[in-house]
Amino acid sequence: MSGIGTVLVTGGAGFIGSAVIRHLVGDVGVRVINVDALTYAASPSSLAEVDASPLYSFKHADIRNREALADILERHRPDAIMHLAAESHVDRSIDGPDDFISTNITGTYTLLEAARGYWSGLGAGDRSRFRFHHISTDEVFGSLATGDPAFTEETPYAPRSPYAASKAASDHLVRAWHETWDLPVVLSNCSNNYGPNQFPEKLIPLMIIKGLAGEPFPVYGSGENVRDWLHVEDHARALWQILTRGRTGESYNVGGGSELRNIDVVTGICRLLDEFAPAADGASHLERIEFVTDRPGHDFRYAIDCAKLENELGWSPRESFESGLRRTVAWYIENRDWWQAILETRYAGGRLGTRG
């Protein structure tokens, strides 16, 4: 028993946050307070299945608003915070780093201060049980070459994009609050997630939607860049394990053991679309793959060693990339309303992150 009955989740209307909340409310059965500013990346409809649950409540607030955070903490008295709210897209961090610095760095600082104020006022039992879980990315470790060993928790930080640098800064702040004030923190650094409800600026949903629209698939550079892919539901399970059973002050890498070149991911999507949504003229979707100008400073390869998480906490991914990608393509075909609303109002699928 973790003793955790109420969790404050930041960024719960986003891709991973909504999967975490569906897991916490639907599978684990704990109370969740979702604090989200509802930026362009938020989709409250991703939470439709928990919306009516008495375990779930939503607070529209920005993590940069210290007073709002203090008020929510005092009213709801969570046993833990899972901090996912962030600006999350590398290409947008190239087009405009401001929001990344502000939300990811200042926002995390503001949340840490609000959490410290609340935690220091708790009684001894509640104080020792409290946890601040910071959810971060493997991109803080920088870029690997082919054959380099995968990132471990000991790999030195070497972020290269504005997004990665802002997340690295937030990781450092979280560790500093632990070292300086003993705030009971735990961190996790995860590889690329995919699955349902992912905003269509990211590679996998963008390619599925381009394919369904009969448009070209824009592959950056030569398509040789490598990412490790993890299904979002496996990530959500890992996060609950880390929150409840991870050691205070430690960080845990989370990965899918599915390293793939971008071109192989896109080819896989084309083949699934050929099966599920064949083009009217009978041509394969593969014929519409286009190699386009590379992303500036494009990290070549990410690879994660998550032996610590597997050995200490017994977690391992359940979904293979093959079955997960098949389920994901099917989800986007069956849930057109979800992404059409985004295309019509917030993002029409244009190229981002080209340095002007």
Q: Is 167 in the site for ligand NAD (CB under 6 A)?
A: yes
Which of ligand NAD, ligand TYD, none interacts with 199 (beta carbon under 5 to 8 A by kind)? ligand NAD
Residue pair 134/81 in contact by the 8 Å Cβ criterion: no
Q: Is 288 in the site for ligand NAD (CB under 6 A)?
A: no
Which residue in the set 8, 32, 84, 243 belongs to the binding site for ligand NAD (CB under 6 A)? 84
Strand stretches in 232-303, DSSP E: 251-254, 259-261, 289-292
Which of ligand TYD, ligand NAD, none interacts with 310 (beta carbon under 5 to 8 A by kind)? none
Q: Least separation, in Å, of the C-beta of 329 and ligand TYD?
A: 16
Q: Dump the DSSP string for 21-65.
A: HHHIIIII--EEEEEE---TT--GGGGTTTTT-TTEEEEE--TT-
Q: Give me the residues paired with residue 218 across strands.
A: 290
259-261 and 226-231 strand pairing: antiparallel
- Does 310 participate in catalysis according to the annotation? no
Q: Which is nearer to ligand NAD, 150 or 288 (CB)?
A: 150
Q: Least separation, in Å, of the C-beta of 225 and ligand TYD?
A: 4
Q: Least separation, in Å, of the C-beta of 90 and ligand TYD?
A: 4
- Does 138 participate in catalysis according to the annotation? yes
Residue pair 23/236 in contact by the 8 Å Cβ criterion: yes
Determine the Cα angle at 15 with ends 235 and 91, to 5°. 105
* Exposed / middle / buried, residue 213 (Cβ in 10 Å: 0-12, 13-18, 19+): exposed
Considering only the stretches 130-138, 145-153, 269-277, 296-304, report the one whose residues sit in contact with ligand NAD under the rule CB under 6 A. 130-138
Q: Return phi, psi of residue 341, to 5°.
A: -60, -35
Q: Which is nearer to ligand NAD, 60 or 351 (CB)?
A: 60
- Of 62, 79, 139, 259, which residue is the catalytic one? 139
User: Which residues are known catalytic residues?
Assistant: 138-139, 163
Provide the binding-site residues for ligand NAD, judged by CB under 6 A: 10-11, 13-17, 36-39, 41-42, 62-64, 84-88, 103, 107, 135-137, 167, 190, 192-193, 199
